[in-house]
Amino acid sequence: MTTTPQAVRRASPRARRTVTPPDPARPLLPAAEPVRLLDETGTPLPARTDYPEPPVEALRELYRRMVLGRRFDTQATALTKQGRLAVYPSSRGQEACQVAAVLAVRDTDWVFPTYRESMALVARGIDPVEVLTLLRGDWHCGYDPTEVHTAPQCTPLATQCVHAAGLAHGEAYQGRDTVALAFIGDGATSEGDFHEGINFAAVFKAPVVYFVQNNRYAISVPLSRQTAAPSLAYKGVGYGVPSEQVDGNDPVAVLAVLTRAVAHARAGKGPFLVEAHTYRMEPHTNADDATRYRDGAEVDAWRDRDPLARLETYLRARGVLDDAAVAEIAEQAEAYAADLRTRMNTQPTVDPLSLFDHVYAEPTPQLVEQREQVRAELAAAHDEEGDA
Amino acid sequence: MATTMAKALNSALADALAADERVVVFGEDVGALGGVFRITDGLQARFGEKRCFDTPLAEAGIVGFAVGLAMSGLRPVVEMQFDAFAYPAFEQIASHVAKLRNRTRGKLSVPIVIRVPYAGGIGGVEHHCDSSEAYYAHTPGLKVVTPATVEDAYSLLREAIDDPDPVVFMEPKKLYFGSAEAELPVRTEPFGRAVVRRTGRDATLVAYGPAVPVALEAAEAAREEGWDLEVVDVRTIVPFDDATITASVRRTGRCVVIQEAPGFAGVGAEIAARVQERCFHALHAPVLRVAGLDIPYPAPMLEHTHLPGVDRVLDAVARLQWDDQPDARWAAA
């Protein structure tokens, strides 16, 4: 026997209310406010069962790598001023995001970075000279992606989001439990490939974590020109992807949220989207002039939310970091920077004939001809030098 | 036995799927439907949804997904439903598919096959008939292949799937369903080799893809005018076979390049320039081009005016300075 809706209403208004189905979008939505485990002074907030605090050893390592990361970043900026790098997009102020993200994944997982993730890559353990090859300009990608399970730093915005979906699906297809971690910025969430990537990952249930560092600016364009959504994390719900937003300057919260996101993906539940609210303290690159589009008071306000100071305060208060440890880590960072400086202060050798080596597995006859032409040009130039 | 290019392509995909577990075939409507041209017909039923599957309707997504799959060690073969529908994928193709090997000094390669049904002559409405080969041929790192015969369709597709580099595989739609004698499986000449489809002494017609049958028909018709024409099928635009084409033009001393795409800055222009550079002293006439008009692909009722046909080819052959007089078309300039 069937009952018409009208019959139900007449019979019992209360019964009708109780049959309202649960909202399927609800579990996918991020929290109304970004997840925080430390306040801006580094004081712990009440513990949460959904995002348990990571073990203290992980937090100490997070601190150590953030210190190294910041020192790497200032060294890279200095190298740019000295003309050793063609350009450098700093991630100063985003240390919690850069470092916690790579600590949340395994060495066998794959990372898909953008050009702003140099700090994340050195935190992942990749040789900093290899990371800076792109920006020094002696080749494009300096590291072997297959060895470090890290895609080349991606300059075309958001295109890596689809690669991450494909890689993750391909790994699962071949029976491996690899997770793909795709970095992306706030501006790039406006690109089509972000949407296509997250949609493919969702449809194929691919184990991908999409990690949006919302640093408020796409070069000069503020977030208000990228989206009318209440948070970038709301972009997941339309694709059926659970999402979360986190205080990106709270290192403990970023690591906790990403750890859960990675576990979700690895458990075969499909992709997860995380938006971290942070701030780009420096201009877009050394070639940019940020005073043209934002005022100093805004930057100063974010200086007070420094992620490194926040974590240091917390670890000291917990008694797991003291002056001696801080000094030792600072010393490690100085040694790391000095080594990088020394290695970058030599002129790299480049071989013009290598331009033809990796266009195809085997050069085409036309490339062989052009290679010979360049070889002859180089020989002629060399002879002229000899004559002079 | 008589078969079609569509069936040969289908056999090539089936044989590649059977031969190599890493091969996966995907795109829009390639699963249960078997593709709008039925090139993937029956593959999902035979090999399962894991190996042959439909995707969301997003071409950049399809190609970018293939990049990731290739990075994980698979051999993706993707279908762009029509030439013009591949344009959303262009950034993925130009910035990643073509460049990943180079960017990483050969550490990472993405052996992907991107199948593109292309060109017109089928009465298709707008955005269904573009000849887009020049965009791909102009992008270093891609191989660009286009069969004109049933046997080449099979062989070149198998080779494309085995190739260590990404291949844009351009399938002339109007040749899909023409029947020809072919024994499959078959292996024809490898990538980088053009083939003389018809020998002749008086002039060389160079063509590829949908223009090859036009060239052969024109050569047949030219006999009545007393011209004995050679026809060379380019087959693989990249890598390009200078040697075969140069040898032919040096024999005949005259050359007409035929393509269906608009002529300006097209592949035919590149071929004409290369022939002129290499054969100058053997040439009795300038190298001429016969191409589509420099217009957006026209509506179906007008496409016959656009498409280079036998008459336009014969007109060009007639202008190859048989009596050593300047070409009247340029006399005023």
From B39's Cα to the closest Cα of chain A, the distance in A is: 23
Looking at the structure, tell me whether residues A332 and A361 fall in a common domain.
no
Contact B71 A197 (CB under 8 A): no
CB contact under 8 A, B69 and A203: no
Q: Is residue A7 included in any domain, yes or no?
A: no
Find, among B251, B293, B250, B153, the residue nearest to B210 by Cα.
B153
Select the residue from B103, B112, B144, B270 to test the A interface by mutation, using most A Cβ atoms within 10 A: B103
Token pair of A294 as six digits: 């934002």
CB contact under 8 A, B108 and A361: no
- Same domain flag for A119 and A204: yes
Question: Residue A224's domain is classified under what CATH number?
Answer: 3.40.50.970
Residues linked to residue B75 through DSSP beta bridges, in sequence order: B23
Measure the CA–CA gap between B147 and B160, rounded to whole angstroms.
12
Examine the domain organization and report whether A369 and A263 are in the same domain.
Answer: no
Task: Note whether A124 and A172 are same-domain residues.
Answer: yes
Q: Which domains does chain B have, with CATH numbers?
A: 2-181 (3.40.50.970), 195-326 (3.40.50.920)
**B277 at interface of A, judged by CB pairs closer than 8 A:** no
Touching A: B residues 200-259, CB under 8 Å: 238-243
Quick one: tokens of B2? 């008589």
CB contact under 8 A, A165 and B68: yes
In order of A3, A137, B126, the CA distances from A6 in angstroms are: 8, 72, 51
Q: Are residues A147 and A31 in the same domain?
A: yes
The pLDDT value given to residue A2: 45
Mean pLDDT in residue range B11-27: 98
Residue A264 lies in a domain: yes
Helix H or strand E encompassing A49: none
Q: Which of A360, A369, A373 to mutate to test the interface with B (most CBs of B within 10 A)?
A: A360
Q: Which residues of A touch B108 (CB under 8 A)?
A: 145-146, 151-152
* Higher per-residue confidence, A11 vs A198: A198
Assess whether A250 and A380 both reside in one domain. Answer: no
Query: How much is the average pLDDT of A45-70?
Result: 98
Residues 95-114 of chain B whose Cβ lies under 8 A from any Cβ of chain A: 95-96, 99-109
Q: Which domain holds residue A278?
A: 26-344
Is residue B332 within a helix (H) or strand (E), and if so which, with residue range? Answer: none
Answer yes or no: is A92 within a domain.
yes
In this structure, are A199 and A271 located in the same domain?
Answer: yes
What's residue A16's pLDDT?
56
pLDDT at residue number B328: 74
- A3 domain-assigned: no
- Interface size A-B, in CB pairs within 8 Å, comes to 152
Burial A188-206 (b: 16+ CB within 10 A, else e): bbbbbbbbbbbbbbbbbbb
pLDDT bracket for residue A388 (50, 70, 90): low
Cβ separation B61–A203 shorter than 8 A = no
- Tokens 């180079």 identify what position? B102
Which pLDDT tens digit goes with each residue over A115-152?
Answer: 999 999 999 999 999 999 999 999 999 999 999 999 99
pLDDT at A8: 47
Asked whether the beta carbons of A166 and A149 are under 8 A apart, the reply is: no
Q: What are the b/e assignments for B26-44, b being 16+ CB within 10 Å? A: bbbbbbeebbebbbbbebb
Tell me, yes or no, whether A339 and A359 share the same domain: no
Alpha carbon of B173: minimum distance to chain A alpha carbons (Å) = 28
- Inter-CA distances, A87 with A26, A116, A150, Å: 44, 11, 21
Q: Answer yes or no: do A305 and A366 share one domain.
A: no
Write out chain A residues lying below 8 Å of B54, CB-based.
none
Does the structure show a pLDDT above 90 at A363? yes
- The answer to whether B313 touches B214, Cβ cutoff 8 Å, is yes
Cis peptide before B239 (omega within 30 of 0): yes
Contact assignment for B92 to A174 by CB distance below 8 Å: no
> What does the pLDDT look like over B47-97, one tens digit per residue?
999 999 999 999 999 999 999 999 999 999 999 999 999 999 999 999 999
Phi-psi category of residue B269: left, alpha or beta, with phi > 0 → left and psi -120 to 50 → alpha: alpha
In B93-208, beta strands by DSSP E: 113-118, 143-145, 167-172, 179-181, 195-198, 203-207
pLDDT for A7: 47
Q: In chain B, which residues have their Cβ closer than 8 Å to the Cβ of A166? A: 64-72, 76
Separation of alpha carbons A98 and A92, rounded Å: 10
Q: For residue B71, which residues of chain A lie inside 8 Å, CB to CB? A: 110, 145, 151, 163, 166-167, 170
Inter-residue contact B92 to A154 (CB < 8 Å):
no
Residue A20 confidence (pLDDT): 81
Asked about B304 being catalytic, the answer comes back as no
pLDDT, tens digit, 9 for 90 and up, residues A219-268: 999 999 999 999 999 999 999 999 999 999 999 999 999 999 999 999 99
User: pTM of the full predicted structure?
Assistant: 0.95
- Asked if A341 contacts B81 with a C-beta cutoff of 8 angstroms, the reply is no
The set of residues, in sequence order, having a beta carbon less than 8 Å from that of A347 and lying 6+ positions away, is: none
Average pLDDT over residues A15-39: 88
Q: What is the pLDDT of residues A305-316, one digit of tens each?
A: 999 999 999 999
Closest residue in B to A199 (Cα–Cα):
B56
**Interchain contact, B64 vs A163, CB within 8 Å:** yes
- B105, with CB counted inside 10 A (0-12, 13-18, 19+), is middle
Cα angle vertex A211, ends A208, A212, to 5°?
Answer: 140
Contact yes or no for A196 and B105 at CB 8 A: no
